[in-house]
Structure 1
């Protein structure tokens, strides 16, 4: 084996073998020429001169032959080397000749064209994938077998609260994603600072032969809230119908009996108790009827009648309606909305009423209203100086209220109006002090 390797290493190159073959081909010519000159009794000087000229001639012929064979092969070798290094701009010459080298050059050029097209398609597909990941609103993460993050889009970086460059190479435990990585596909989780619920989609793929895990999060908070609202509306319709049908005759009968009680004679205390009981029944029936009607308003909100509305004057009118605490209205840009002014006014009244109630519970401090434009949306902020929000998850759930005399309709109705206009309402605690902030997003016309 060692001898074979030694022989293989000392094997002459193709050019040396070509020169050797040319020398062997020319050797009989020299022998015949020398014998012929010897038989003709040519002297030594002319013999050496003729043999030298013959040698130069054969040398030039051999050099031309070797150059004609080796140069195309060297060119093809350089082209293949360029293809291996990823440079597809070189092409082999002589592809038009009808011989073996020409066919080889044609095949190499065709291979270069094919690789160049595949590279362009790969670059375009990579750019398209990067663009899709950039504009995706759903957070996306890819982890390798060591649970290290290898791929993330802008939405995922925003959810993690980190710059995009500082996300790669960190483990799932460091990023707080180990629970999602260990969870099953199509499960709902709460993650991040926002009170959102995320549907987890999980898939496995391979890259460079190594297994990777892909996580995709879809925000299902709004669809779930819409389903909850539909269920609440159905329940409210049924309960409202049944209660109204029962309360109306109770109120009517109590009123009739109370009118006839004036003619009843007997013990004064008994008559008084009888009248008072009927008054309580009539009053409570009337109160329950108004209570049910307020919930039926939530379930039967009509679609908005859209028209051009100036945001500034609308907010000024809403601010003037509240007189319990000072309302500071910060000036903002002129914004035109395509909305239902009556529904928007009711929405802002409900939010301002909640803000004022919160401020009254903490010293009757002023309430502040301001608005701005961000990404083709009107963003209105209503800040109070109350005690803040203890439970932000159930704020927009019908029947849920933290007020002693609240009905749990105001915020749910406001959110329903905002979504009917293509907007959204969020309530968060203030970072700059006590109190909460209502943030309303509405699309600009």
Structure 2
């Protein structure tokens, strides 16, 4: 509206300026001043767009300048009968939006007064010029225009009220929509499941924080490259195992739902902890069975074995038979160790807690193992023991844990290598890390390494790690394992400083590994 009124005013002024004779310099100057006034009104309109100024005052000043410009043009072009008097209507309509409906009626009244005064003045001139017959036409024009002013004010006021009501309703609706979007965003962001929206072409549309935490590469790569196999899966749920950026295997439960535009919604849930718990329950069931079996035969086997060992040691044999005698004694000792491991695995004792310096235990075990001729010269034991707080633990059981881990690490390196042992504080506990350069563990076997009797090493009993698992869980700790074939294995054990209700694990006890 403002731009249209300005264009009409400036256009009429330019046209009038061109039609005025060269000799009428004064009239040209008046038109130039009016043009400047119109441009100033346009500048005020631009200033009114700045929300930091008093828009109400600027609107009234702008209407006053409009009134002055239109009145000047009307007076210079036939007065009340000028065709440019119709521009008052545009200003009245604009005032309804600039101020309000009552303001537009006030503007219409002002314009009607001005036009009426111009009509009186022009009618007086008709009488003086002896042309009273032109008065009826003048009165008719002025009356119609005045009626048009008020009619335009009423209609524009009503339309403006409806427009403002609609704008307010849209603003309220937009505010409610924004609030709902924020609530939905917070709810989706707080979910422990990942939500991924994918376009029909496989590109990511959006993802909640949990999904980006599970798959950080989603922010920069197509979903098909990050979440393998989702395009080939039908609607419904499926489970997959993928490795995260920390190289740990994760069990993910995914479900796919189609969207109307050809895209899809993927729901992702990390069920790794649930699968570990299920595995631990199965392991406890197996350990319980092993315990019952071991308890029933251990003593029956150990008694005759002790007698056999004593008899062989007392036998006098020829020198050429001495190697056979040593073989028998070695095998008897191996069976004795197997029975000991069986009893420890089947009937673990509750930890006898006392202040324990884990660093001192590691140092003692490393020193003793380094003196073993089967290890010395073939395996190098390196320690990096940072200052760690004293913890409440059973020192004998922790010594067994460290010994078993170092023994496994040394035996896995058939061609020798380095075993690294690290100790440090972590949270409200301590962490022991044992890393070797051995043959590694296949991914398919990682889930079974803590099962009793599971071993891939010739001569192994398969009970060493089962004992480690029992002791660590009895102390309220956790075990993390990372391994790659031909690249070595890392065992990380975390133990709390103050275990809560430490007990020997049973088939009903469940603790994180």
TM over 0.5: yes
Q: Output the TM-score relative to the length of structure 1.
A: 0.61
Q: Output the TM-score relative to the length of structure 2.
A: 0.54
Aligned to 1:344, the other structure's residue is in SS state helix
Equivalences, count: 347
Please tell me whether the aligned partners of residues 422 and 433 of structure 2 are also in contact (alpha carbons under 8 angstroms). Answer: yes
Please tell me whether the aligned partners of residues 234 and 256 of structure 2 are also in contact (alpha carbons under 8 angstroms). Answer: no
Aligned to 1:351, the other structure's residue is in SS state helix
Equivalent-residue separation in structure 2 for 1:439 and 1:78 (angstroms): 67
Please tell me whether the aligned partners of residues 418 and 442 of structure 1 are also in contact (alpha carbons under 8 angstroms). Answer: yes
Instruction: Please list, as runs of the form range in 1=range in 2, the aligned pairs for 1:28-67 lying within 5 A after superposition.
Output: 48=134, 52=138, 55-56=141-142, 59-67=145-153
Please tell me whether the aligned partners of residues 418 and 437 of structure 2 are also in contact (alpha carbons under 8 angstroms). Answer: yes
Instruction: Please list, as runs of the form range in 1=range in 2, the aligned pairs for 1:227-242 lying within 5 A after superposition.
Output: 227-242=281-296
Residue aligning to 2:369: 322
C-alpha RMSD of matched pairs (Å):
4.6
Equivalent-residue separation in structure 2 for 1:305 and 1:222 (angstroms): 27
Quote the offset at 1:426 in angstroms.
0.7
Please tell me whether the aligned partners of residues 239 and 254 of structure 2 are also in contact (alpha carbons under 8 angstroms). Answer: no
Please tell me whether the aligned partners of residues 236 and 257 of structure 2 are also in contact (alpha carbons under 8 angstroms). Answer: no
Equivalent-residue separation in structure 2 for 1:384 and 1:231 (angstroms): 31
Larger helix proportion of the pair? 2
Quickly say closer, same or farther: Cα 1:184–1:229, change in 2 above 3 A.
farther
Please tell me whether the aligned partners of residues 439 and 487 of structure 2 are also in contact (alpha carbons under 8 angstroms). Answer: yes
Quote the offset at 1:376 in angstroms.
6.3
Residue aligning to 1:120: 179
Residue aligning to 1:428: 483
The counterpart of 1:175, out of the listed 221, 226, 230, is 226
Quote the offset at 1:63 in angstroms.
1.4
Task: Establish whether residue 291 from structure 1 lines up as the match of residue 338 from structure 2.
Answer: yes
Quickly say closer, same or farther: Cα 1:44–1:348, change in 2 above 3 A.
farther
Render the CA deviation track for 1:367-417: whole Å, top value 9, x for unaligned. 322244567664432223434445652322221123333211112222333
Equivalent-residue separation in structure 1 for 2:156 and 2:233 (angstroms): 62
Aligned to 2:162, the other structure's residue is in SS state helix
Please tell me whether the aligned partners of residues 424 and 442 of structure 1 are also in contact (alpha carbons under 8 angstroms). Answer: no
Of structures 1 and 2, the one with the larger relative CO (CA 8 A, separation 6+) is 2
Equivalent-residue separation in structure 2 for 1:74 and 1:203 (angstroms): 50
Quote the offset at 1:189 in angstroms.
3.7
Task: Establish whether residue 354 from structure 1 lines up as the match of residue 401 from structure 2.
Answer: no
Residue aligning to 1:198: 251
Equivalent-residue separation in structure 1 for 2:279 and 2:285 (angstroms): 10
Please tell me whether the aligned partners of residues 367 and 385 of structure 1 are also in contact (alpha carbons under 8 angstroms). Answer: yes
Render the CA deviation track for 1:40-74: whole Å, top value 9, x for unaligned. xxx97567557746754663354134223313423
The counterpart of 2:297, out of the listed 218, 235, 243, is 243
Equivalent-residue separation in structure 2 for 1:347 and 1:435 (angstroms): 19
Instruction: Please list, as runs of the form range in 1=range in 2, the aligned pairs for 1:197-236 lying within 5 A after superposition.
Output: 198=251, 200-206=253-259, 209-210=261-262, 212-217=264-269, 218-219=271-272, 220-236=274-290
Residue aligning to 2:432: 380
Residue aligning to 1:403: 457
Residue aligning to 1:104: none
Please tell me whether the aligned partners of residues 243 and 292 of structure 1 are also in contact (alpha carbons under 8 angstroms). Answer: no
Equivalent-residue separation in structure 2 for 1:373 and 1:398 (angstroms): 30
Please tell me whether the aligned partners of residues 369 and 383 of structure 1 are also in contact (alpha carbons under 8 angstroms). Answer: yes
**Pair member with larger Rg:** 2
Please tell me whether the aligned partners of residues 384 and 423 of structure 2 are also in contact (alpha carbons under 8 angstroms). Answer: yes
Unaligned runs of 5+ in 2: 1-88, 94-128, 318-323, 499-513
Please tell me whether the aligned partners of residues 203 and 215 of structure 1 are also in contact (alpha carbons under 8 angstroms). Answer: yes
Equivalent-residue separation in structure 1 for 2:275 and 2:350 (angstroms): 22
